[in-house]
A and B are shown apart, each in its own frame.
Chain A
Amino acid sequence: MLSNYLKSGARVAAACAMALGLSTAAVQAQDHPLFFGWPGYEAPELYPDYVKKHGGMFRFTAWGDEEEGVTKLQSGFNADFLFPCNYKIKKWYATGRLAPIDTSRIKNWDKIMPSLKKIDGAVQDGKPVWVPIDWGQTSVVYRTDLAPEYQNKESWEILWDRKYKGRVAAFDSLVDAVVVAGLMAGIPDMWDYTNPADVAKTKDKMRELVGQVRFFSNDPTTLEQAIASGEVVAATVWNESVTRLKKQGLPVKYMNPKEGAMTWVCGLSIVKGSKHLDKVYDAINAMLAKESRIWEINEFGYGVSTQEAFDAVDSDLLSELGLSKNPDDILNAGIFQSEIQGEGALQEMFDEVKAGL
């Protein structure tokens, strides 16, 4: 009887100890800033200096897409730093929650390529609010064994090819997918949808696309798996997916469409009133460090914002990844993603075509 009591007592004590242990772990996590950004950027290898200095990673939350991220921050989500891309900085800034960045606290600020620092929106009211980190493309990856004919005529047209009806996939996003319909519909400016006639033209093209695609998704893994299994022959992806698919040894090629691939630059911004400002700067410094930038080139296949990292990577590898030491070569060759004008109308149109209208 007594021993039973003792046993259950010990069990309760053990449970309490576990609960305490959990709560201290939770408290420790609270000591780190929260990074709110694109999925995949929670890899500790991107922040070796931070992990070394603080003995652990900061907290991370991924957004579904950047537009959703803006709304979440605006409605009071408490992140400490963010990962906006060039075409969206102004919108992030309009929430009134971006803090000016003290560049004297960023060790590698002078090593960042000057052309990237000057990107539209990066400086607001005379102060930088955005630190360029990486750049890359949005284009189509396709299986060279399943759609070999496209090797000689690389084009976004593959998404609309009747032959591959139900065998293509695309991003569930305005900036990475819907604007391509605008481009292919031949409207005067694929970033401007303030004219209802342009929206209508894009809608026709989009309706065709909805009939073509197997699914829309923003999740790189979902898109990669569909390509890998042969469920789809072509899909819109970012460079990182192609790098990973090639590592699996799959016969895939990243298109350089005759209409141009889309290009973008992403970077870090700090949220006003962060309680972990020192650690946020530590994280930014860790991400700009040479080691981190080299890792990103190798693993994600993205271009990075510091010249020193490029100089440290074999130029054969760079050309294999489709990169160049001079980012302007790539950024100017493609279609540079810009802020979408008339975004509301475009989103409404996207919802409508998905509903079958």
Chain B
Amino acid sequence: MKEQTLHAAEAGSPPGGLREGVRRAFLRHEWLRAYTLVSPTLILLIVAMAAPIGVLVGLSLWTQSGMEFDRTLTLANYETFFGKKIYPLVLWRSIQISALVAFATVLLAYPLAYFIAFHVQRHKMVWLILITLPFWTSYLLRVFAWKLILGYNGVVNSGLTTLGLIEQPLEFILYNVTAVVITLAHAWAAFAILPIYVSLEKIDRSLIDAAHDLGEGPVMTFLRVTLPLSMPGVIAATLLVFIPTVGDYVTPKLVGGTTGIMIGNLIQSAFGRGANWPMGAAIAVISMLMVTLAVCVFLGGVKGLKKLLA
């Protein structure tokens, strides 16, 4: 009798047994520990990233008929995308604009990051905070600020008029692709400066001294030591600026005028007044794929360049 209860107790004590089992499994399998550790992020990524992309892909396979969705699976929207000139053209233009923005941003960010990493000795933190300062105001306000600067009666035009350099305000500086590039390059500057700064900061200073000792001048030292070692930062900065700006639609809408529209505007138009969500989803899916492709081409190019130089 007593023995029986004991057995029952043993068999019927899942809490202790389960806990023990989980503990053992935890100790035995490293992957289980790893997955548990990343699970909050993993769950968030699945819910907030993978699932919406799944919905988007699903939606892009439907079609719009009037106010309703026609739920038969079809590639019609993708055919429309490649059948009409406008979509590939605007997507290609968006990729070009963003590439230009990424290039300009990195080019402008590098000297600043270099200065902070190598020449600022004290209060580095203050400098870094100053760089993020524009981010303390809303993105929209920064775009509007550029409208004020580049506008017809804006800072640039009234300044030049006062100086007597021009008589009529310049009209070509706002409402075109250039204005979009300038605005985006400023708005995303911090995303380029910080990664470049971090990779420059990490460079072992003795390597630079060594280059000098071996007789390299400042230019060659930069090209053969500093620049290659800061490449990870430059690549990260390029991607951080390029990827999000392809889909931007607020900036082109506010400063792009009639000719500066980008793929984001078409997606917005399809989801908004075009009232064709499946088409919008298809445009979004294709842009995502093309951006991925562009990034792969970029990374491949960097790899090839490295091999060429090595």
Contact = CB atoms under 8 A, between A and B. Distances in A.
A351 B269 contact: yes
Contacts of B271: 71
B150 to A, nearest CB: 12
Interface string B138-162: 0000000000000111000000000
Interface in A182-228: 210, 213-216, 226
B257 to A, nearest CB: 5
B269 A64 contact: no
Interface residues of B, number: 25
A71 B272 contact: yes
B260 to A, nearest CB: 9
Contacts of B276: 344
A166 B175 CA distance: 10
Nearest to B175: A215
A163 B89 CA distance: 31
B90 interface: yes
B67 A357 contact: no
Interface in B261-295: 261, 266, 269, 271-276
Interface in B229-286: 257-259, 261, 266, 269, 271-276
B90 A65 contact: no
A347 B175 contact: no
A64 B175 contact: no
A229 B258 contact: no
B258 A67 contact: no
A286 to B, nearest CB: 30
Interface string B79-112: 0000011100110010000000000000000000
Interface in A335-357: 344, 347-348, 351-352, 354-357
Interface string A62-100: 001101101110100000000000000000001100000
A68 B151 contact: no
Interface string A216-247: 10000000001001110000000000000000
Contacts, number: 67
B171 interface: yes
A71 B257 contact: no
B272 A214 contact: no
Contacts of A166: 171
Contacts of B93: 355
Of B67, B84, B171, B276, chain A has the most CB atoms within 10 Å of the CB of: B67
B261 A95 contact: no
Interface in B37-69: 67
Given A65-B273, A215-B257, A229-B153, A351 B67 contact: no
Given A215-B258, A231-B153, A357 B89 contact: yes
Interface in A49-65: 64-65
B86 A226 contact: no
A196 B93 CA distance: 28
Nearest to B64: A344
Given A71-B272, A74-B67, A347-B273, A214 B153 contact: no
B269 A347 contact: yes
B273 A67 contact: yes
A214 B85 CA distance: 24
A76 to B, nearest CB: 13
A344 B80 CA distance: 14
Nearest to A67: B273
Interface of B: 67, 84-86, 89-90, 93, 151-153, 169, 171, 175, 257-259, 261, 266, 269, 271-276
26 contacts: A67-B275, A71-B275, A72-B272, A74-B67, A210-B258, A213-B258, A215-B175, A215-B258, A216-B258, A229-B151, A229-B152, A347-B269, A348-B274, A351-B266, A351-B269, A351-B274, A352-B86, A354-B258, A354-B259, A354-B261, A355-B86, A355-B90, A355-B93, A356-B89, A356-B259, A357-B85
Chain A to chain B: the 3 pairs with minimum beta-carbon distance, closest first: A67-B273, A231-B152, A68-B272
